[in-house]
Amino acid sequence: MATITEVRERTANGNRGGEATGNGNGKDGEASTYSGKEHKWARPAATRENSAMLVGAYTPYIVLLAFTLVFHETPFAERFYTHLNAHYTCFQISFYGSLIVTTGVYWLLGFIFMAFDLVDPLHNWIKRWKVQPDVRPTLAMYREVFTLVVRNLVCVNVPVAFVTSVVNPFRVDVPLPRAWETLWTFFLTLAFEEVGFYCVHRTFHSKRFYASVHKTHHKFTAPVAFSGTYATVIEHFFSNLFPVMLPFYLTNAHFSCAMCFFCSLLMDTTITHSGYNVPYLINALKHDWHHYAFTENFGPIGFMDKIMGTNTRYNAWLGELKRRDVDGWLATGRLELAEKTQ
């Protein structure tokens, strides 16, 4: 039986052997099948817990959809929309209502993550889930981000909300949509967003458009929540807004259904740019990898990336990290067993 010293030396030699080949497998010097580039990205196992959960990363969507479905069935909802219709025009509800809801949700979530970035006690608590732990945002970085975020709010969001509210305002009638209409609107818009955003986003990564349109958004390889709309005017309109506005126009969506989806979209945007992959929040790894590596994970959900094969290096690196986690557990188990049996 091996002594404790022999087990420790064998484990150490295995780690060194793996590192010598760029694998770091820690498995008694055996070579790993991973032949890609080494990354510092998402190395702490805690940053990958959320992605390993079957349902956890979808919790915000489930909660928001459930709330909307229940809300539509309550007497309060009918009274609320009856009151709105009695005091405001359809244009006013669509224009002012959509701006109040979307702007409020976006800035509320953004400021929450900003506090986790800048306030030491909060950052010390959440940093276990920081995907790129070597990079901590600064107040100066936030000041720079705010300049474009506010510009896009004023120069893109407001005009788009105004035009759509004039041309095709959201329905605000009662009774409110039943469950099938709410779910149909949500998942149809989600499909349009996945396909539309993927196609536009990948186009903006082409040589023709990257430097002039999309490079601004990639200034920060470790993004923050507010940087979801840190982009040129052209990108913000065609990439962030157009793919979701089109299905609303085609389906003549109800205001409540539209706000449900917009809130889910803003949660996705802020969380996936936050730099933290917190359990039971939306999976932030996919898009954080896109900012880190530039050339993969173009879609918001990942279905198009899987179909088009634009997530292979991402999956390979996560698979390698998972293998190293297991090898680390095995090495620790061997050492603990040796200590108990000596």
Res 23: pLDDT: 42
Res 169: pLDDT: 95
User: How many residues can be counted in the chain?
Assistant: 342
pLDDT over 90, % of the chain = 76
Position 246 pLDDT exceeds 60: yes
Cα 63-69-73 angle, rounded to 5 deg? 140
Question: Residue 132 carries which side chain, given as an amino acid letter?
Answer: Q
Position 268 pLDDT exceeds 50: yes
Q: Among residues 145, 300, 131, 331, which one has the least CA distance to residue 229?
A: 145
If DSSP codes are grouped into helix, strand and coil, which group holds residue 254? strand
CA atoms within a 13 Å half-sphere pointing along the CA-CB vector of 61: 15
CA separation for the pair 78, 92 (Å, rounded): 18
334 vs 36 pLDDT, higher one: 36
Position 92 pLDDT exceeds 70: yes
Q: What is the pTM of this model?
A: 0.86
Res 118: pLDDT: 97
Give CA separation, 128 vs 116, 134, 228, 275, 292, in Å: 12, 12, 22, 11, 19
Position 39 pLDDT exceeds 70: yes
Per-residue pLDDT band at 28 (split at 50, 70, 90): very low
Question: Residue 85 carries which side chain, given as an amino acid letter?
Answer: N
Per-residue pLDDT band at 332 (split at 50, 70, 90): low
CA separation for the pair 312, 324 (Å, rounded): 18
Q: Name the β-bridge partners of 171.
A: 254
Helix ranges (DSSP H) in the chain: 4-20, 49-52, 59-72, 75-87, 90-92, 98-118, 120-126, 139-152, 158-167, 179-204, 233-235, 242-251, 255-273, 285-293, 303-308, 312-341
Res 132: pLDDT: 93
pLDDT over 70, % of the chain = 86
Lowest mean pLDDT among 74-83, 244-253, 302-311, 327-336: 327-336
> Mind listing the pLDDT tens digit for each residue in 214-232?
999 999 899 999 999 999 9
- Residue 29 tokens read as 């010097």
Position 337 pLDDT exceeds 60: no
Position 102 pLDDT exceeds 70: yes
User: How many other C-beta atoms can be found within 10 angstroms of the C-beta atom of residue 244?
Assistant: 18
Position 20 pLDDT exceeds 50: no
The dihedral through the CA atoms of 261, 98, 231, 219 has a sign that is negative
Position 300 pLDDT exceeds 60: yes
Res 222: pLDDT: 92
Per-residue pLDDT band at 17 (split at 50, 70, 90): very low
Lowest mean pLDDT among 250-264, 272-286, 323-337: 323-337
Res 331: pLDDT: 54
User: How many other C-beta atoms can be found within 10 angstroms of the C-beta atom of residue 134?
Assistant: 9
